[in-house]
């Protein structure tokens, strides 16, 4: 399935009428995220396993990460197109005490840190989770 509208149409064909808002909320609660495909385009993907239905950084970053850089107490993570939001959600769920908050676009995430002295260690942690050695 490549769009929520297509999923909504499929559900309607099977007798389930849902609003866009309800569908979007339910997908989010189920841990279903739209992720880019290596060959282009995107698809919806649920997290495997019953214990944690939410996508994790360990799973998302190796597939979506393209770079990280920062200045002061700000860190910018670059992802493949469409990858920023699922990665930002996974980051928010980590509960890192150094992280004040995230703002994501389509392929860029801004991390705001509580302390600029933690920036290098956060960048290193992100690279490690993405499978990139320093």
Q: Reduced to 3 states, what is the DSSP secondary structure of residue 123?
A: helix
Task: Kindly state the tokens that stand for 111.
Answer: 């991390």
Query: Residue 36, SS3?
Result: strand
Nearest C-alpha neighbor of 33 from the set 8, 10, 64: 64
Report the pLDDT value the prediction gives residue 103, as an integer from 0 to 100.
Answer: 96
CA-to-CA separations, 119 to 32, 110, 113, in angstroms, rounded: 30, 12, 7
Name the pTM for this structure. 0.63
Running DSSP on this structure, what letter comes out for residue 98? T
Q: Which of the pair, 77 or 89, is modelled with greater confidence?
A: 77
pLDDT tens-place string over residues 7-60: 888 888 888 888 888 788 777 767 777 777 778 788 777 765 544 456 788 888
- pLDDT category, 134, cuts 50, 70, 90? low
Whole-angstrom distance, CA of residue 39 vs CA of residue 120: 33
Q: Highest-confidence range of 43-47, 49-53, 93-97, 118-122, by mean pLDDT?
A: 118-122
pLDDT attached to residue 99? 95
Strands 42-46 and 65-71: unpaired
What are 49-88's pLDDT values in tens digits?
544 456 788 888 998 999 999 999 999 999 998 889 889 9
Rounded-to-integer distance, Cα 80 and Cα 19, Å = 29
């Amino acid at each position: 399935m490549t769009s929520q509208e297509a999923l909504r149409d499929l559900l309607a064909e099977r007798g389930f009428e849902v609003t866009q808002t309800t569908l979007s909320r339910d997908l989010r609660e189920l841990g279903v995220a739209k992720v880019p495909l290596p060959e282009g385009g995107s698809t919806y993907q649920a997290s495997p396993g019953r214990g944690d239905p939410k996508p994790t950084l360990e799973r998302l970053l190796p597939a979506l990460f393209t770079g990280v850089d920062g200045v002061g107490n700000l860190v910018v993570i670059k992802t493949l197109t469409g990858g920023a939001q699922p990665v930002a959600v996974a980051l928010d769920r980590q509960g890192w005490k150094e992280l004040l908050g995230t703002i994501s676009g389509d392929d860029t995430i801004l991390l705001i840190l509580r302390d600029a002295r933690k920036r290098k260690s956060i960048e290193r942690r992100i690279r490690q989770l993405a499978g990139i050695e320093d």
